Chain A
Amino acid sequence: MRSRCSSAVDTSNEFVRAGLRRANYITNERVETAIFLALALEKPLLIEGPAGSGKTEVAKVIAEMLGTELIRLQCYEGLDEARALYEWNYQKQLLRLQADEHQGARWEDISEHLFSREYLLERPLLKAISAPRKVVLLIDEIDKADEEFEAFLLELLSDFQVTVPELGTLRAVEIPVVVLTSNRVRELSEALRRRCLHLFIDFPGAEQERRIVQLKVPGLDERLATEAARFVGAVRKQGLKKPPSIAETLDWARALQRLGIKELNSDAIKSTLGVLLKHEDDRAKIESKAGALSGRGR
């Protein structure tokens, strides 16, 4: 048991904490521990949570923390191995064949060459496996992919190897840090869950959102940041079609700053609400309550 842990990169909880701070990522102990474990145990990390709560960001931050490349695979319905793993570069193979024909090369030589790595188009998964150094592999929105694809991922996630019929089984040189995200459009299989560490990320509370806003939008008045964060927190509790994400909070804060708004009254909110809410119904709902939610005009 111990050997597996010690073979991992030199990480500790403090390393993760410091790394997150360096990467300007404000979070809680839950996220820290999960990231640390993903690094220490070299297991894939499955992140669930509402859209816009910063799931994808975790992968980016890990990449930044380790100073390594982020390889991203965006999942969608109908995603297949050819798009995710590898494909043969057929045009190049054809050209090679024609060139060799002219030189009168023997078939044995040609065929040996035709199915070599040179003619392999690496797609994200193969790229992550064959990278010479540790990379971060982000498999985004796995719930959008088909169940077949999920099953196909199992070999990769448990053994970090893939099989290419012409080349044999390729083992990971350095086990990549794998991060999967899901919005729970459909339930993931038990088999996949078993192989992953699990992390649920929710929207931050008002205080943490204020810190995020102040960090990412420097120069914003502290009082305004506090009010904005509290307003967004209140808006999210209104049962909207699409609650505002953290990124939208930041956009909104920037908008407030650019417009030179000093005080978050209902006029200011109404004129900028389009940055925060992207559904007409939501907008109408919040507009009517703007005064009450901002804690003014009561």
Chain B
Amino acid sequence: MTTLRDELLRFVNQLRGAGVRVSIAETLDAMNAIIAAGLDRTPMREALAATLIKDEDDRHIFDELFAIFFAGARNPTDDGWRKPGSESSIAPGSGRIESESIRSVRKDKKPEPSSVSAESEPREQSKTESEQESEEHRERETEREDSERDENRSDNGSEESRTAGEEPDAAPASGHDARRRKIERTPFEDYSDLEFDKARDALAPIARRFRVRLGRRLRMASSGRLDFRRTIRASIQRGGALSDLRFRARRPRHIDLVILADISGSVRYSSTLMLELIAGAANFFRRVRSFVFIDRLAEAEFEQKHLIMTPQLDLYARSDFGRVLGELWERRGELLNRATVLVIMGDGRNNRRPARADLLREMGRLCRTVIWLIPEERERWGSGDSAIFQYAREVAALVPSRNLRELEGALVKLA
């Protein structure tokens, strides 16, 4: 005899197996929620979702599992807005859990090895049985899931035809968030102009988050000198008593950022995005000097927060890191000092020209630190004309920045 509690525990276990993190407290909440919401299909599904799923990205996993697990559910993806009178459209009984049908599904399913311990004796037996059968059933299982998916599809189809003439109530902008996440994870190497535009569009919220993270890191090394003016101002509220001392936020250290970004074809997307991210957060550093280069060095210029291509650069040239490092070395007096953090973005593909890694070592002595961000996949580091390993020996850190997310993480660590 299976109880609702056991079913729920198994369901939670399946969720965990699918990678959704569910705590014990949340399982208890789910139990309470079902008791409160009742066992009608839709309220029960939403009750479980509200208590177990805390991230909208996990919702589709939940819907799929729910459909398989509680076999009465026929239309798991129906989260359209309720139509008038649709409450009554669930036929009585069809929405209840039918433990018979669950069992039949369960029999087909491959048992979870890490099943909960609160299972009763007969259940264990049936599990070992099904374990033996699992091989032959696995095929049937996939068949069944397929047919179920088909069923869903046809169900959705009929839903659409019912509301013919109207837009299907698809969720247009869960997209917005999901799109941002997706583009954050897309490797720079897979970018086309289209992805690049998308990334630029998504950059505003990312830049905001970046500034918050950067600011927080800088603030953590809390307070420095007494801020006399703000202390006096605060004391007025206290009738002149200097009870509330205010301190100047201490910049834990002054950072002069010098950025070299390769904007040749292979890495131009990542470089542009990096420069724009940093440009938006320039006030966190004492000084920011941004340079772009291909075979020569040129100061980066921005217009309305967007990098514009500097005419001094020959865009059809081929990358020459050695020459660029030489040019920087000549301007070392002006650019490099003990507070400088030198950030270089590039794949180190030097077209077999002299790498001049020795200059990088010398610069490392002048600066606080030198960091190299590399947008390439790790497997391809150092292959072909890449001189990245020569450079890697001379820099403090070689940080992979293959997508926006990694790039942001790498840049936050600058502070």
A pairs with B = yes
Interface residues of A (CB under 8 A from B): 1-2, 4-5, 13, 17, 26-30, 32-34, 36-37, 40-41, 43, 46, 48-50, 53, 77, 90-91, 94, 146-147, 184-186, 190, 193-194, 196-200, 202-208, 230, 233-234, 236-237, 239, 241, 243
Q: Across the interface, which residues of A come within 8 angstroms of B208, CB to CB?
A: 185
Task: With CB as the reference atom, state the residue of chain B lying closest to A210.
Answer: B166
Q: Does B224 reach chain A (CB closer than 8 Å)?
A: no
State whether A91 and B239 are in contact (beta carbons under 8 Å apart), knowing that A29-B42, A37-B47, A41-B32 are contacts in the complex. yes
Contact A27 B81 (CB under 8 A): yes
Tell me if A208 and B172 are in contact (CB < 8 A): no
Of the candidates A5, A17, A53, A198, the one whose C-beta lies within 8 Å of that of B50 is: A198
Any chain A CB within 8 A of the CB of B306?
A: no
The answer to whether B33 touches A37, judged by C-beta atoms less than 8 angstroms apart, is: yes
Cβ distance B159 to chain A, nearest Cβ, rounded Å: 12
Which of B23, B33, B51, B176 contacts A243, CB < 8 Å? Answer: B176
Which residue of A27, A28, A36 contacts B37 across the interface (Cβ within 8 Å)?
Answer: A36
**In this complex, what residue of B is CB-closest to A97?**
B239
Binary contact readout B30-47 vs A (1 if CB under 8 angstroms, 0 otherwise): 011101111000110011
Q: How far is the CB of A222 from chain B (nearest CB, A)?
A: 14
In the complex, are the beta carbons of B201 and A186 less than 8 A apart?
no
Contact with A along B74-93 (1 / 0, CB 8 A): 00000111110001000000
Contact with A along B370-398 (1 / 0, CB 8 A): 00000000000000000000000000000
Inter-subunit contact B239/A33 (CB<8 Å): no
CA distance A204 to B82 in the complex (A): 10
A236–B171 Cα distance when bound, in Å, is: 10
Flag if A203 contacts B81 (CB, 8 Å). Answer: no
Tell whether, in the assembled complex, residue A203 and residue B29 are in contact, meaning their CB atoms are under 8 Å apart.
no
B205 touches A185 (CB 8 A): yes
**Contact of A28 with B59 in the complex, beta carbons under 8 Å:** no
Give the shortest distance, in Å, between B179 (CB) and chain A (any CB): 7
Q: Which residues of B contact A13 (CB under 8 A)?
A: 37-38, 43
Query: In the complex, what distance in Å separates the CA atom of A26 from the CA atom of B204?
Result: 32
CA distance A126 to B43 in the complex (A): 33
Task: Collect the chain B residues with CB atoms within 8 Å of residue A28's CB.
Answer: 79-82
Main secondary structure of the interface of B (DSSP, over half): helix
CB distance from A180 to the nearest CB of B (A): 12
Question: Can you name the residue of chain B whose Cβ is closest to the Cβ of A46?
Answer: B54
Contact (Cβ within 8 A) B25 A194: yes
Bound Cα distance A190, B205 (Å): 21
- List residues of chain A with CB within 8 A of the CB of B49: 30, 198
With A and B bound together, what is the CA distance between A134 and B59 in angstroms?
A: 32
Is A41's CB under 8 angstroms from B82's CB?
no
Contact B50 A202 (CB under 8 A): no
What mask results when residues 160 to 183 of chain B are scored 1 for a CB within 8 Å of chain A, else 0? 000100111111111111010000
| Cross-chain contact B173 with A48 (CB below 8 angstroms) | no
Known: A29-B42, A53-B173, A198-B54. 9 other contacts (CB 8 A): A30-B79, A34-B50, A50-B174, A184-B177, A193-B54, A203-B173, A207-B167, A207-B169, A234-B167
Inter-chain CA distance A16–B33, complex, in Å, is 15
6 A-B pairs with least C-beta separation:
A205-B169, A33-B46, A208-B81, A193-B54, A40-B36, A28-B81
Q: Any chain A CB within 8 A of the CB of B138?
A: no
Residues of chain B within 8 A (CB-CB) of A50 are: 173-174, 176-177
Q: Once the chains bind, are A5 and B36 in contact (CB under 8 Å)? A: yes
In the complex the two chains form, what is the Cα distance from A82 to B234 in whole Å? 13
Is B216 an interface position by the 8 A CB rule? yes
User: Mind listing 20 A-B residue pairs with CB under 8 Å?
Assistant: A1-B35, A5-B35, A28-B82, A29-B42, A30-B46, A34-B50, A37-B33, A40-B33, A40-B37, A41-B36, A43-B29, A46-B54, A48-B56, A91-B239, A194-B26, A202-B171, A205-B169, A207-B166, A233-B167, A237-B172
Whether B56 pairs with A200 at a CB distance below 8 angstroms is yes
Cross-interface CB contact of B54 among A36, A90, A194, cutoff 8 Å: A194
Contact across chains for A203 and B171 when beta carbons are under 8 A apart:
yes
A202 touches B54 (CB 8 A): no
Which residue of chain A lies nearest to B78 when distances are taken between CB atoms in the complex? A29
- Contact digits for B46-69, partner A, Cβ 8 Å, 1 yes 0 no: 110111011110010000000000
B171 / chain A contacts, CB cutoff of 8 Å: 202-203
Interface presence of B237 (CB below 8 A): yes
Task: Assess whether B50 is in contact with A236, with CB atoms less than 8 Å apart.
Answer: no
CA distance A50 to B175 in the complex (A): 9
Residue of B nearest to A146 (CB): B216
Which of B55, B205, B213 neighbours the largest number of chain A CB atoms within 10 Å of its CB?
Answer: B55
Give the Cβ gap from B171 to chain A, nearest Cβ, in Å: 4
Question: B212 an interface residue at 8 Å Cβ cutoff?
Answer: yes
Task: List the A side residues contacting B201 at CB < 8 Å.
Answer: 239, 241
CA distance A16 to B204 in the complex (A): 39
